[in-house]
Copies of this chain bind each other. A is one copy, B any other.
Amino acid sequence: MRAQIVTIGDEILIGQITDTNSQFIAGKLDELGFEVRRMLSISDEADDIRLNLDLALESSDCVILTGGLGPTKDDITKTTLANYFGVGFKQVPEVRARVKEIFARYGKEVPEVSYSQSSVPENCTVLMNSNGTAPGMWFETKEGKVVISLPGVPIEMKGLMEEEVLPRLKDHFDLQFNLHRTILTVGMGESEIMGIIGAWEDLLIQKNIKLAYLPSSGRVRLRLSSRGANRDLLDKNLEEEVEKLYQLIPNIIFGEEETDLAEAVGELFRERSMTLSTAESCTGGFIAHRLTSFAGSSEFFKGSVVSYDNEVKTGVLKVEKEVLEEHGAVSREVVEQMAVQVKDIMKTDYAVSVSGIAGPGGGTSEKPVGTVWVGMAGPGGFLKSRKFDFGNQRTANIYRTSNAVLNMLRKQLLK
């Protein structure tokens, strides 16, 4: 079964807001077994809505629209749908009562205009909205295709999807399964990975499995997808191929599905009952931030010294002044002292340190913007350091550095 999603609203088209509704709906439809063919955003104009609804119904069995259901004049979806289906309006007392109840909750009188929410096209089934005044609407065409209109406010749309739309879609359509497995890797680019797994990938088609490479900032997600009527078979086939993937690229896989790299590193520390601290210059606390962005981080992360200024490197971290002067802040010698010192100060098993030139200023021909030194200190006098070059975009530079540092930690703990 094929589905399309249409979001309606000028605020999307002028780039004022990110349309997150489409992603939410697409994920839910995909889970249910629909093949989502297109997602579309259009403006609050009747002609556009009619034209695109026609196009969508030509190639899909189900179309979900969001937006344009408010009580004000610029919201025209409901009238447009009544015109599209050539029907008049009916009154729904249940919706009128809900409008009253919602305004009463805030101790307010209902403005007359808000009662217009209880008037809907004659041919629709009303879907009650627990989180707002605008009801959802379910239409069926002569061919058994379904058009659903939902409010654009995310919390209202989500409530309606979960409570009303998904159960009805499951009943109405005879759906297949879409299964996905996402394997998360770090440390190799997509073409490098393809060099290793290319031959395996070519055989996936025999099992009706599609592979996608999804790169971002030094990590590549590998997604295996399969669609069919037999859920157990799909599951088994995917599991077999995921196992082969683990054999082909064991060292770069750090997790599956939505695991963040920092969380995967945290898990390794927790399993080993070990602790970690950081000393950060150019990353300015970003690695500490990532390591404290998930629940349970206090079990392994003790703290950080953000030594943005050289005085803090010498004053708090006790980096030797002579070393700093001789080698410069961005050097092997300095990051090694930073790592050893912060490990000592914070009394942790491991410590990592970073010093680099985040940019846009501060680069030299010898140490251009993007040069980053990373140090790592560990148990029994373990000490390691490495130089990276991450290019001249400040924000990307900071993010890539954090990925590289987290991956160094991951590899070290897995040794």
Contact = CB atoms under 8 A, between A and B. Distances in A.
A297 B284 contact: yes
Interface string A333-376: 00000000000011100000000001111000000000000000
Interface stretch (A86-94, A167-175, A394-402): A394-402
A72 interface: yes
A291 B284 contact: yes
A48 B316 CA distance: 60
B309 A11 contact: no
Interface string A264-302: 000000000000001010111111110111111110011
B311 A302 contact: yes
Nearest to A39: B41
Contact of A346 (B215, B217, B312): B312
A311 B277 CA distance: 12
Interface stretch (A30-38, A138-146, A239-247): A30-38
Interface in A73-128: 73-74, 105-106, 108, 111, 113-114
A381 interface: no
A203 interface: no
B284 A280 contact: no
Copies in the complex: 2
A125 B43 CA distance: 31
Contacts of A48: 37-38
B191 A114 contact: yes
Contacts of A294: 394
A176 B240 CA distance: 57
B305 A288 contact: no
A209 to B, nearest CB: 12
Nearest to A275: B309
Contacts of A72: 190-191, 194, 213
Contacts of A253: none
Contact of A306 (B28, B305, B347): B305
Interface hub of A284, A389, A395 (most chain B Cβ within 10 A): A284
A40 interface: yes
A370 to B, nearest CB: 8
Interface of A: 9-20, 22-30, 36-44, 48, 52, 55, 70-74, 105-106, 108, 111, 113-114, 131, 153-155, 159, 178, 180, 182, 189-192, 194-195, 198, 201, 210-217, 223, 225, 278, 280, 282-289, 291-298, 301-309, 311-312, 315-316, 345-347, 358-361, 389, 391, 393-396, 398
29 contacts: A10-B210, A12-B23, A13-B37, A14-B225, A17-B214, A37-B43, A40-B40, A70-B215, A73-B198, A74-B210, A74-B213, A105-B389, A155-B396, A159-B393, A282-B292, A283-B289, A284-B293, A285-B287, A285-B289, A292-B358, A293-B394, A294-B394, A295-B360, A298-B309, A303-B308, A303-B309, A304-B308, A305-B316, A316-B346
